[in-house]
Chains A and B, each alone.
Chain A
Amino acid sequence: MKKRTLMTDVEYFDGLTPISRKGYILPYMSNIQLVLQDESGKKENLYIKYDEITEISKLENKSKIELKGDGNLSANRLIIFREIETHNLINKYWAANKKSTIGSIFIKFRNLSNIKKAALAAILAPCTLILILLFFDKSYLLLPLSVDKKFGALVSENLLSNSNVIDNKVILRALENINTRIVPETSSYKYKIKLVKNPAINAFALPDGQIIIFTGLIAASKSPEEIAGVLAHEISHVELRHGIRQLIRVMGISYFTAIVIGVGFEGAEIPETISEIANILIYVKYSQEFEKEADLNAVSLLHEAGISIKGFISFFDRLIHNEKTPEILSWISTHPDNKTRSDYLKEKLKQEKFISGKLISNDNWLAVKKIINNI
């Protein structure tokens, strides 16, 4: 015998016509009895199994049970009622009747209020963030070095086609000599230095091992050790695979901000603007991290090669004096400011216990400077 249960008035839509029928339901553990009454008082009995239910939801004070359609015309059927006790009871029976545990956990999660869902998700989100930082950020290890090389070749093709590349044997040989001393023995890259005519004090490395130095940088350097510092920094970018890691990060960051900000509001412009700003800020933050990593690695490379980092430091110290960027802008710059860089390098200088010899001869250095000044 079935136990007594909650009897609840309902409105029933059969999915075939827009006109509803009145009746009541009796929810039991194994099924729900639906009794429909027409105007003449004639009764019709239907038994609904729990696996016919596709969704139970509540909107304001109306509860809604959606059922799979019966017969060929698979229009779904709908039961609407107002009693909250009945709603909870049916929900409980529905979850209990789910055969798989995943299914019932899923229902339990779905039945949580949105605020509870948000709280639960807010707890899980930092875990995901950590996982992303741990794994996603290491995903470059899965890419072979040949990817870096192809990527670098692609960039250099676009970059150097519009630049004035200077092929001066004396300067290039001097730079190569310094470079060869710094490159670690275990390196799997073939380094190639290119000199570009440009007054800016700048140098950069491409992921395939090409190092591009502006004439302005050599003109601004006071000693070969200063250039050695810059080269060590650029070599570190290549060895630590910063190019490809930056690419993965930029793609990842724009993916995540795009999916998280504005999901469900497609077509609205505001979320897009917000996610673009977020992109830039996170990108800048990461970029500064890479620069610091390259600086510190440069220190190790220089020390292993027996070169003092004093030149590296004096280079930054001189830049501080010429600096025009107000300090407040440093947090949107891709590099840490020169003062900060000089400070942590000076900290490293304390570890230096050796006296370094000459990198290149004085005559050679003077010849380099003379040529640079005439370019």
Chain B
Amino acid sequence: METAKNKFSFHGDGGALFIIYLVNALLTFITLGIYSFWARVKVIKFIYQNTEFMSERFDYHGTGKERFTGFLKAAGIFIIFSLIMAGIFKLLSILFDQNIAQIIVTLIIYLIIVAFIPFILVGKERYRLSRSSWRNIRFKFTGNTKELFKEYIKGVLLCLITLGIYFPWFQCKVNKYFADHSQYGNQPFSYNADGKELFFIYLKGILLSIITLGIYNFWLRADLLKFYYKNLSFQNNKFSSEITGGIIFKTALISMLLVIFSFGIALPWVIIRNIKIYLNSINYKGNIDLSTIKADLDKKASALADGLSDAAGALDI
């Protein structure tokens, strides 16, 4: 049987995105910032709805209301958290010296923030996939925080011990974790990569980047993207990417020039151009067997993790 090659394509144009941006900026201003949650959803929706695969568009179902309530909950959590920390600080400064209390409380805060990172990563991916669809079937993320947390602790420790040599294997593990736990409907994606191969990609890339004063970095990025997609599959069919270092280099250079010489006004057009170039390079080798796919909804996914990272961003953490 001949294997079909299905490409991704993008149909959005910069003018439309520019107008969305304009409406967003004005409405956000009028509502003193509250509209920003709806504004962000508008942009994501625009990008998803203009992305096509096998003659059907993707869609995004997140709502501004969800994002807003997620943010409010997160803000509540932050307030309670800082009150508790203030309480602990008061208590410790009675028991010990004020400076010691400050050091202990700072340490506790950092530890909690680090422990929260996997939770936020998983929560965001769960929310994003549960609100993404194609042919009106939602995606789903099934990974749990504990697993990612273990992977991170192990990976970071091994990277430290091996002076970074372990990093390519760590990256493969993280990619595998995210891909293997992603589903379209009830069917999972899968990622199987060889850390050794990635190690040599990095080795070659870093050495040549040093020799070429960083210019080879664009080609390294192309190699990394190709490596990612060729190891990703769905229904036993593989993806692939045709991107090249030359394309990435040219795109980055043109983007930079356009943005600088238009004082940022060309940004929407530049974004569209970038999305087009990256999406059009992705292939899926084969056809998707739709008949075996059933809906599998993630009803518990919420925008809380996004809210937490929004709130953290607002506090500049």
- In the complex, what distance in Å separates the CA atom of A20 from the CA atom of B21? 34
Bitwise, A47-84 to B at CB < 8 A (1) or not (0) is 00000000000011000000000000111111000000
Q: B32 to chain A: closest CB distance in Å? A: 8
A256 and B29: CB pair below 8 A?
yes
Q: B143 to chain A: closest CB distance in Å? A: 22
Among B94-102, B120-128, B133-141, B151-159, the stretch that binds chain A is B133-141
- In the complex, what distance in Å separates the CA atom of A77 from the CA atom of B137? 10
Given contacts A59-B49, A77-B136, A121-B23, contact A15 B40 (CB under 8 A): no
User: Please, which residues of chain A bring their CB within 8 A of the CB of B293?
Assistant: 17-18
Q: Say yes or no: is A7 at the interface (Cβ < 8 Å to chain B).
A: no
Q: Say yes or no: is B185 at the interface (Cβ < 8 Å to chain A).
A: yes
User: Please, which residues of chain B bring their CB within 8 A of the CB of A265?
Assistant: 21, 43, 267, 271
Query: B57's closest neighbor in chain A, by CB?
Result: A59
A18 and B30: CB pair below 8 A?
no
Q: Say yes or no: is B291 at the interface (Cβ < 8 Å to chain A).
A: yes
Q: A102 to chain B: closest CB distance in Å? A: 14
Given contacts A78-B136, A125-B29, A256-B29, contact A264 B291 (CB under 8 A): no
Among A110-118, A220-228, A288-296, A354-362, the stretch that binds chain B is A110-118
Among A163-171, A182-190, A266-274, A333-341, the stretch that binds chain B is A266-274
A13 and B135: CB pair below 8 A?
yes
Query: A252's closest neighbor in chain B, by CB?
Result: B32
B137 and A118: CB pair below 8 A?
no
B137 and A270: CB pair below 8 A?
no
Given contacts A73-B297, A270-B259, A270-B267, contact A264 B137 (CB under 8 A): no
Q: Say yes or no: is A200 at the interface (Cβ < 8 Å to chain B).
A: no
User: Please, which residues of chain A bring their CB within 8 A of the CB of B29?
Assistant: 125, 128-129, 256, 259-260
- In the complex, what distance in Å separates the CA atom of A213 from the CA atom of B30? 43
From residue 225 to 267 of chain A, which have CB atoms closer than 8 A to chain B?
255-256, 259-261, 263-266
Q: Say yes or no: is B76 at the interface (Cβ < 8 Å to chain A).
A: no
Q: Say yes or no: is A6 at the interface (Cβ < 8 Å to chain B).
A: no
A263 and B28: CB pair below 8 A?
yes
Bitwise, B1-36 to A at CB < 8 A (1) or not (0) is 000000000010000100111111111111011001
- In the complex, what distance in Å separates the CA atom of A159 from the CA atom of B259? 41
A124 and B271: CB pair below 8 A?
no
How many contacting A-B pairs (Cβ < 8 A)? 110
Partner of A118, one of B23, B264, B290: B23
A259 and B36: CB pair below 8 A?
yes
Q: B184 to chain A: closest CB distance in Å? A: 8
Q: A226 to chain B: closest CB distance in Å? A: 43
B26 and A125: CB pair below 8 A?
yes
Given contacts A15-B295, A263-B25, contact A271 B267 (CB under 8 A): yes
Q: A263 to chain B: closest CB distance in Å? A: 5
- In the complex, what distance in Å separates the CA atom of A259 from the CA atom of B37? 10
Q: Say yes or no: is B305 at the interface (Cβ < 8 Å to chain A).
A: no
Q: Say yes or no: is B299 at the interface (Cβ < 8 Å to chain A).
A: yes
Q: Say yes or no: is A329 at the interface (Cβ < 8 Å to chain B).
A: no
User: Please, which residues of chain A bring their CB within 8 A of the CB of B226?
Assistant: none
B30 and A121: CB pair below 8 A?
yes
Partner of B36, one of A74, A114, A132, A263: A263
User: Please, which residues of chain B bring their CB within 8 A of the CB of A349?
Assistant: none
B28 and A118: CB pair below 8 A?
no
Query: A261's closest neighbor in chain B, by CB?
Result: B25
Interface size for B (C-beta < 8 A) is 45
Q: Say yes or no: is B250 at the interface (Cβ < 8 Å to chain A).
A: no
Q: Say yes or no: is A16 at the interface (Cβ < 8 Å to chain B).
A: yes
Q: Which one of B26, B42, B44, B290 has the highest number of Cβ atoms from chain A below 10 Å of its Cβ?
A: B26
Q: Say yes or no: is B304 at the interface (Cβ < 8 Å to chain A).
A: no
User: Please, which residues of chain B bring their CB within 8 A of the CB of A118?
Assistant: 19, 22-23, 26
A121 and B267: CB pair below 8 A?
no
Q: A68 to chain B: closest CB distance in Å? A: 12
B30 and A76: CB pair below 8 A?
no
A18 and B23: CB pair below 8 A?
no
B26 and A124: CB pair below 8 A?
yes
Q: Which one of B27, B30, B290, B297 has the highest number of Cβ atoms from chain A below 10 Å of its Cβ?
A: B30
User: Please, which residues of chain A bring their CB within 8 A of the CB of B40?
Assistant: 263-264, 266
A74 and B27: CB pair below 8 A?
no
A114 and B290: CB pair below 8 A?
no
- In the complex, what distance in Å separates the CA atom of A226 from the CA atom of B22? 51
Query: B45's closest neighbor in chain A, by CB?
Result: A57
Q: A257 to chain B: closest CB distance in Å? A: 10
Partner of A264, one of B20, B136, B259, B263: B20
Bitwise, A112-139 to B at CB < 8 A (1) or not (0) is 0011011001101100110010000000
Q: Say yes or no: is A375 at the interface (Cβ < 8 Å to chain B).
A: no
User: Please, which residues of chain A bring their CB within 8 A of the CB of B196?
Assistant: none
Partner of A15, one of B23, B27, B137: B137
Q: Say yes or no: is B90 at the interface (Cβ < 8 Å to chain A).
A: no
User: Please, which residues of chain B bring their CB within 8 A of the CB of A261?
Assistant: 25
A114 and B264: CB pair below 8 A?
no
User: Please, which residues of chain B bring their CB within 8 A of the CB of A132?
Assistant: 32
- In the complex, what distance in Å separates the CA atom of A274 from the CA atom of B21? 15
Q: A3 to chain B: closest CB distance in Å? A: 31
User: Please, which residues of chain B bring their CB within 8 A of the CB of A143?
Assistant: none
Given contacts A18-B185, A20-B135, contact A271 B264 (CB under 8 A): yes
Query: A124's closest neighbor in chain B, by CB?
Result: B30
Q: Say yes or no: is A19 at the interface (Cβ < 8 Å to chain B).
A: yes
Beyond A18-B134, A259-B29, 17 extra complex contacts between A and B, CB < 8 Å: A14-B136, A17-B294, A18-B185, A18-B293, A60-B11, A75-B137, A122-B26, A125-B26, A128-B30, A128-B32, A256-B33, A263-B36, A264-B21, A264-B24, A265-B21, A266-B313, A270-B259
Q: Which 4 A-B pairs have the closest CB atoms?
A: A121-B26, A13-B136, A264-B43, A18-B135
User: Can you list 30 residue pairs at the A/B interface with Cβ under 8 Å?
Assistant: A13-B136, A17-B291, A17-B294, A17-B295, A18-B290, A19-B135, A19-B290, A20-B136, A75-B136, A75-B297, A78-B136, A115-B19, A117-B23, A117-B27, A118-B23, A118-B26, A121-B27, A128-B30, A128-B32, A259-B33, A260-B25, A260-B29, A263-B24, A263-B25, A263-B28, A264-B21, A264-B40, A264-B43, A271-B267, A274-B264
